[in-house]
Amino acid sequence: MSNKIVLLPGDGIGAEVIYAAKDILEAISKKYNKTFEFSSYDIGGVAIDNHGTPLPNETVEACKSSDAVLLGAVGGPKWDNNPSDLRPERGLLGIRKALDLYANLRPVKGFKKLLHASPLKEDIIQGSDLLIVRELTGGLYFGQPSERLDSGNAVVDTLAYTRREMERIIDKAFQSAQLRNKHLTSVDKANVLESSKLWREIVEAKKAEYPDVTVDHVLVDAAAMKLITNPTQFDVIVTENMFGDILSDEASVLTGSLGMLPSASLAEDGVGLYEPAHGSAPDIAGKGIANPIAMILSAAMMLRYSFDMNEEAQAIEDAVEVVVNQNYHTADLKNDNGKVVNTTEMTQLIVNAIQ
Ligand code: NAD
Ligand code: IPM
Ligand code: MN
């Protein structure tokens, strides 16, 4: 069976790390005798330059008729002053909406060998292993109206959710907790926001359907603090779109670098999209030094969730661990006694470990 994968490299280091993931998948294809069929489409800034829109129709159509999508990253200073509908980020939000990718799973698990690469104390992060389940197609990112009023002297953004949108992500989080350590932390701002009050009611009501899962509620400001002072208290965290965006970048500090954090963006049924949590990193783009591990681990998530290739996914994760244990790392990780390699070298080391 052929597995049709659409590559959306995007901008900056997105285009650098996506070819690293492709090399890894080709190594998997050889070793395990699997066929992957790749095609590439434009999204983000490069799509604005080539097609006049951050999300061309042909990109959406190609994704819809694929078996899975891998996305690098979008954005960059070149397009930062564009009007809102001509920003690269609109392309990313657009494809998430078009594929109804409501569930963004961001696992945060550091490697033992890199404990000291985090600015946090080793005894605090030791043993931390959590999953952020971020709602991805609602909330402030999509609510209308979102505009300037009063000749530019006032603004409005809208935080809107339907009950159904909250229920499906909360269900996903309960189910994810059942597959892990059966502890769910719901993060909200129920002391202030109406949306969070409904969110909390739904979590409370759903407890009865998942009696094996223990649940607690933490306000988002306290959650931000607890993530870096006592991260081992968390198993699965579920939260709305923007809180999840912010907390997941913060949580990446547990692993030593944002360049280590993969993610899966899933629909109820339909095509999944796999993307690192990081952005296009304009500060290092073009230098060939980006950490490809977040992207490579996202490809492993793709094999697991979209293709049911658990052994192959595990082979990628094991290969990454082998290379990390050999003390190789890219420059984003602060590791004084390690060996610094660039994107291509890191990718080749992981390919070798797979073979
Ligand atoms: P960023 O994630 O691109 O970078 C933040 C910092 O982390 C930078 O110092 C960067 O060099 C470093 N970093 C990130 N990924 C790395 C990697 N793989 N290897 C080594 N270092 C890495 O966030 P930013 O600088 O705030 O945003 C830059 C652009 O990216 C903006 O246009 C933003 O909108 C966009 N962005 C896109 C996505 C996405 O496409 N999913 C996600 C976040 C930000
Ligand atoms: C992410 C990014 C995006 C988000 C931006 C680029 C729209 O930060 O994937 O985490 O906020 O969702
Ligand atoms: Mn983000």
Residue 342: C-alpha distances to residues 117, 190, 229, 283 (Å): 17, 45, 32, 15
The rounded distance, in Å, linking the Cα atoms of 151 and 313 is: 53
According to the model, what pLDDT value does residue 337 have? 84
- List, in sequence order, the alpha helices (H) in the chain: 13-32, 45-51, 57-64, 88-98, 122-125, 163-178, 194-206, 220-229, 241-251, 293-307, 310-325, 343-354
The ligand minimizing its distance to the Cα of 275 is 1
* ipTM here: 0.99
Gap from CA of 335 to ligand 1 centroid (Å) = 21
Q: Quote the tokens at residue 75.
A: 């954005």
Q: Would the annotation count 84 as a binding residue?
A: yes
Ligand 1 neighbour 290 (Cβ under 6 A): yes
CA–CA dist 244, 258 (Å, integer): 14
76 belongs to an annotated ligand binding site: yes
The pLDDT of residue 345: 98
**Mutation probe of ligand 2 site: the residue of 105, 142, 245, 247 with most atoms within 8 A of C-beta:** 245
DSSP string, 195-240: HHHHHHHHHHHHGGG-TTSEEEEEEHHHHHHHHHHSGGG-SEEEE-
Q: What is the pLDDT of residue 1?
A: 67
Q: How far does the centroid of ligand 3 lie from the alpha carbon of residue 260, in Å?
A: 13
Q: Fill in the DSSP letter of residue 152.
A: G
3-state class (DSSP) for residue 129: strand
| Exposed / middle / buried, residue 246 (Cβ in 10 Å: 0-12, 13-18, 19+) | middle
Q: Ligand 3 centroid to 248 CA: how many Å?
A: 7
| 12 CA to centre of ligand 2 in angstroms | 15
245 Cβ inside 6 Å of ligand 2: yes
pLDDT tens, N- to C-terminus, the chain (355 residues): 679 999 999 999 999 999 999 999 999 999 999 999 999 999 999 999 999 999 999 999 999 999 999 999 999 999 999 999 999 999 999 999 999 999 999 999 999 999 999 999 999 999 999 999 999 999 999 999 999 999 999 999 999 999 999 999 999 999 999 999 999 999 999 999 999 999 999 999 999 999 999 999 999 999 999 999 999 999 999 999 999 999 999 999 999 999 999 999 999 999 999 999 999 999 999 999 999 999 999 999 999 999 999 999 999 999 999 999 999 999 999 988 899 999 999 999 999 999 9
Name the pTM for this structure: 0.98
92 lines ligand 2 (CB under 6 A): yes
User: Strands 339-340 and 103-109: what pairing?
Assistant: unpaired
Does 71 contact ligand 2 (Cβ within 6 A)? no
pLDDT score of 3: 95
The yes-or-no answer on residue 157 being catalytic is: no
Q: What angle do CA 313, 19, 32 make, to 5 degrees?
A: 35
Any known ligand binding at 336?
no
The answer to whether the annotation marks 342 as part of a ligand binding site is no
For the chain, list the domains and their CATH numbers: 1-110+257-354 (3.40.718.10), 119-255 (3.40.718.10)
Question: Is position 189 annotated as part of the catalytic site?
Answer: yes
For this structure, is 97 an active site residue? no
User: For residue 236, which phi and psi values (nearest 5 degrees)?
Assistant: -110, 130
Q: Read off the amino acid at residue 298.
A: S
Tokens (6 digits) for 290: 């980006």
Instruction: Select from 143, 14, 4, 151 the least CA-distant residue to 71.
Output: 14
Q: Determine how β-strand 103-109 pairs with β-strand 129-135.
A: antiparallel
245 classed as catalytic:
yes
Residues with CB under 5 A from ligand 3 (ion): 245
Determine the Cα–Cα distance for residues 266 and 33; give it in Å rounded to an integer.
26
With contact defined as beta carbons under 8 Å apart, do 17 and 292 qualify?
yes
CB 200 within 8 A of CB 240: no
281 within ligand 1 shell (Cβ under 6 A): yes
Q: Is the distance from CB of 195 to CB of 186 less than 8 angstroms? A: no
Q: How far is the CA of 149 from the centre of ligand 1 (A)?
A: 31
205 phi and psi angles, rounded to 5 deg: -65, -35
Marked catalytic residue, from 141, 161, 274, 328 = 141
**Ligand 1: does its nearest atom lie under 6 Å from the Cβ of 279?**
yes
Is position 141 annotated as part of the catalytic site? yes
CA-CA distances (angstroms) from residue 116 to 75, 124, 127?
31, 11, 13
- Provide the token pair at 125: 């992060």
User: How far, in Å, CA of 105 to CA of 89, rounded?
Assistant: 19
